[in-house]
Amino acid sequence: MEERLLETVRRLNRRIALLTGAGLMACAAIVLADIVLRQVGASFGGTDEISGYVMAIATSWGMAFTLLELGHVRIDILRRKAGPRGRALVDLFAMLVLTGTVTLIAYKCWPVLARSLENSSRANTPLETPLAWVQTPWFAGWIWFAAMAWLTFVAAAMLVMKGRLTEADEAIGCFGEEDATP
């Protein structure tokens, strides 16, 4: 059951990550178009602003994918010395701390959006973007990250309680350091 849940969540987030990547590509295209237009004397005058929004939204929506791919760097210098059971407990604890922190972050992001909604604020920029348009998907991304973290934590905790440590390690372990860091 837990594994099916994790597998579904992983597939779903892979799709989201692909969509997010496509958004980044689109943004690159806009930036390119603007560079070319500038050479001929025209410009949208808002690419920086768009890039910023894309970055904020891409960041929040990519977080859960990275979590499920074990991509958030951890230092495993002590963890490596523990046995399989100890390692599972360390992983669960780290996961719980992450989940709690991310939930708090998501909760604290709400007032930012709430204020924009209340005042119908617009960005102080050439495009005068209504901030709620871009802050809503950004905020939703953090909520999604928190929700995925809770799901993963609960699934992993159940796996650990059933003594299925290998499966738990696949879900919340520490690996992939090598392809996760610049």
Partner 1 sequence: MIWAIAAGLLGLLALSIPVGIVLFLLGFGVDAFFSPFPLIRGLGNLVWSTSNNATLIAIPFFVLLGEILVRSGIAARTYAALDRWVSWMPGGLVHANVATATMFSATSGSSVATAATVATVAMPQAEKLGYDPRLFSGAIAAGGTLGIMIPPSINLIVYGFLTQTSIPQLFLAGLIPGVALALGFMAITALICLVRPELGGTRRTFPLAEMSRALLHLIPIVLLFTVIIGTIYRGWATPTEAAAVGVAGAIVIAALFGGVSLTMFAESLLGTIKITSMIMLVVIGASFLNFTLASAGLGRELQALLDGMGLSPTGLILVVVVIYIVLGFFIETLSLMVVTIPIIVPLVVAQGFDPIWFGILMIVLIEMALITPPVGLNLYVVQGARKTGRMGEVMVGAIPYVIAMLIMVALLIVFPAIALYLPSVLSEG
Please list, residue by residue across 93-103, b when 16 or more beta carbons sit within 10 angstroms of its beta carbon and e when fewer do.
ebbbebbeebb
Shorter beta-carbon distance to partner 1: residue 112 or 161: 112
Residue closer to partner 1 (CB basis): 1 or 82: 82
Nearest-approach distance from CB 1 to partner 1, in angstroms: 26
Please, which residue, 8 or 125, has the CB nearer to partner 1?
125
- Considering the complex, what minimum distance in angstroms separates the CB of residue 7 from partner 1? 16
Q: Answer for the pair 64, 15: CB distance below 8 angstroms, yes or no.
A: no
Q: Which residues bind partner 1 (CB under 8 A)?
A: 14, 17-18, 20-22, 24-25, 27-28, 31-32, 34-35, 38-39, 47-49, 51-56, 58-60, 62-63, 65-66, 69, 71-79, 90-91, 93-94, 97-98, 101-102, 104-105, 108-112, 134-135, 138, 142, 174, 177-182
- Report the nearest approach of partner 1 to the CB of residue 130 (Å): 14
Smallest gap from residue 13 Cβ to partner 1 (A): 10
